[in-house]
Amino acid sequence: MDNPYVLTHQTPTHKDYIDTTDFDQSEILDIIKVSTAVRSFLKSGGTLETLYHQNLAMIFEQKSTRTRVSFEVAMEQLGGHALNLAPGAIQLGAHETIGDTAKVLARMCNLIMARVDRHASVVELAEKSTVPVINGMSDYNHPTQEMGDIITILDHLPADKAWNDVKVVFVGDCTQVCASLMMITTKLGMNFVHYGPQDKWLSDDILNIGRANVQQYGGSVQVSDDPAILKGADFLYTDVWYGLYDNETPKEVYMRDFYPKYQVNDEMLAATENPNVKFMHCLPANRGEEVTDSVLDGPHSVAWDEAENRLTAQRGLCLYFGGVAQDALNEIKRQKEE
Ligand code: CP
């Protein structure tokens, strides 16, 4: 029987958290285990100082609410500190290279988290840094969102289903969040569908990651523009159709391509023929576009739990990549046995 206080890999098997494709299922389950154990412990009134005197440098090339706040609160709750290095606040870009920034931050901080415009930037940061680097979103993927999302899905599993029986449908554009949801759900052997216009489907290169996961862990990965694919969905997930980057396709074009067919509204929930279907959104949302108010604020929505689980996940990630996840579990066990 699984011991809730013992990780399969008691020390991290990778220095950095850039892409969940680098991790096998047991490593992902370890991060979920420490994240959810710490959540339960803190919610029951416990305190942990496992990251005492640890510093996290947070580089942001773009705006952020959830990622920024969840990392800062996670570090503070566990006895550490986070530095918000907002756009324009450090020399990166204008006067200093990514590599030099990485080397300097690694001399002063224990962990680095970076939200970058281009994936190559976070890869280079990790290569040059001697301390762990966590990818806080790039134009390719959003692995910290993945961890919060998979915890949310496991929190809201249908009562009659094992996790590898659930069907997760991402509706809309092939954003990095869509790619990431595909990567993490197939890593756990779930059934993933990308439902959207054919010219906005995930690329074959990205789908091949899911196909390899299906070979290893079971489940399935599909793309479709046929609304019949919605039937039996346990989770409907969407993301904004535009607005992530400045120089992208205009709003009018996205509205023409996605609206109204790919808007998650009450009719789409009904098309699942599942009265218990759950709705997820990484947020922020463009209300009235990819999702209606009635769905986002309605009884099927778990989007607010999902937002809170960004904090659940960041605590686990900081502990895991700080090399002290097993220490945190040992401390929780010790305090519970007192
Ligand atoms: N979902 C997400 O990453 O939100 P922020 O952009 O506010 O961090």
Greater pLDDT, 66 or 248? 66
φ, ψ for residue 265, nearest 5 deg: -135, -175
Both 123 and 193 in one domain: the answer is: no
> Are 53 and 174 part of one and the same domain?
no
Domain assignment of residue 245, given as a range: 157-301
Atom of ligand 1 nearest to the CA of 70: 8
User: What pLDDT sits at residue 112?
Assistant: 98
- The ligand 1 atom at the shortest distance from the C-alpha of residue 115 is 8
114 and 172, same domain (yes or no): no
Q: Does the pLDDT of residue 113 top 80, yes or no?
A: yes
Does one domain contain both 248 and 169? yes
Query: What is the structure's pLDDT at 246?
Result: 57
Q: Which atom of ligand 1 is nearest to the CA of 136?
A: 3
Residue 329: is it exposed, middle or buried by C-beta count within 10 angstroms (0-12/13-18/19+)? buried
Cβ atoms within 10 Å of 5's Cβ, excluding its own: 16
214 part of a folded domain = yes
pLDDT band per the 50, 70, 90 thresholds, residue 245: low
Contact (CB, 8 A) for 279 and 264: yes
Rounded mean pLDDT, 30-58:
98
Same domain, 116 and 242: no
In the predicted structure, residue 87 carries a pLDDT above the cut 90: no
CB atoms within 10 A of CB 89: 11
Residues 181 and 289 in one domain: yes
The CB of 66 under 6 Å from ligand 1? The reply is yes
For residue 5, being part of any structural domain is answered with no
Looking at residues 227-256, what average pLDDT do you find? 87
Q: Which of 79-93, 109-123, 185-199 has the lowest mean pLDDT?
A: 79-93
Question: What average pLDDT does the segment 68-87 reach?
Answer: 96
pTM of the model: 0.97
Q: What is the pLDDT of residue 249?
A: 77
The HSE-up count of residue 191 (CA atoms within 13 Å, CB side) is 13
- Whether 287 and 326 map to the same domain: the answer is no
Mean pLDDT over residues 277-301, rounded? 98
Kindly tell me if the per-residue pLDDT of 323 is higher than 80: yes
Average of per-residue pLDDT across 225-234: 98
Work out the pLDDT band at 251, boundaries 50, 70, 90: confident
Name the closest-CA residue to atom 1, ligand 1. Answer: 282
Q: From the CB of 109, is ligand 1 less than 6 Å away? A: no
| Predicted confidence (pLDDT) per residue in 161-204, tens digit | 999 999 999 999 999 999 999 999 999 999 999 999 999 999 99
291 domain residue, yes or no: yes
Average pLDDT score over residue span 292-300: 98
The answer on pLDDT for 300 being more than 60 is yes
pLDDT band at 88 (very low <50, low <70, confident <90, very high): confident
Instruction: Answer whether residue 336 is part of any domain.
Output: no
Is 229 found in the same domain as 95? Answer: no
- The answer as to whether 108 is a domain residue is yes
137 lines ligand 1 (CB under 6 A): yes
Considering its fold, how many domains does the chain have in total? Answer: 2
Expressed in angstroms and rounded, the spacing between residue 63 Cα and the centre of ligand 1 is 8
Assess whether 79 and 134 both reside in one domain.
Answer: yes
Which pLDDT belongs to residue 244? 65
Q: How far apart are the C-alpha atoms of 254 and 257, rounded to whole Å?
A: 5
Whole-number average pLDDT of the chain: 95
Q: Is residue 175 part of a domain?
A: yes
Q: Find the range with the poorest average confidence among 1-10, 246-255, 319-328.
A: 246-255
Statement to judge: residues 232 and 186 lie in one domain = yes
Are 213 and 130 part of one and the same domain?
A: no
Residues 306-324, mean pLDDT to the nearest whole number = 98
Query: Which CATH number goes with the domain that contains 84?
Result: 3.40.50.1370
Say if CB 168 and CB 179 are below 8 A apart: no
Mean predicted confidence (pLDDT) in 308-336: 98
pLDDT confidence band for 252 (50 / 70 / 90): confident
Residue 190: inside a domain = yes
Q: What percent of the chain has pLDDT over 70?
A: 98
Residue 109 to residues 112, 193, 322, Cα–Cα distance (Å): 7, 40, 11
Ligand 1 centroid to 70 CA: how many Å? 10
Other C-beta atoms lying within 10 Å of the C-beta of residue 193: 22
Confidence tier at 242 by pLDDT (50, 70, 90): confident
Evaluate whether residue 178 is within a structural domain. Answer: yes
- Residues 262, 172, single domain; the answer is yes
Average pLDDT (313-321) is: 98
Contacts of 267 (CB under 8 A, 6+ apart): none
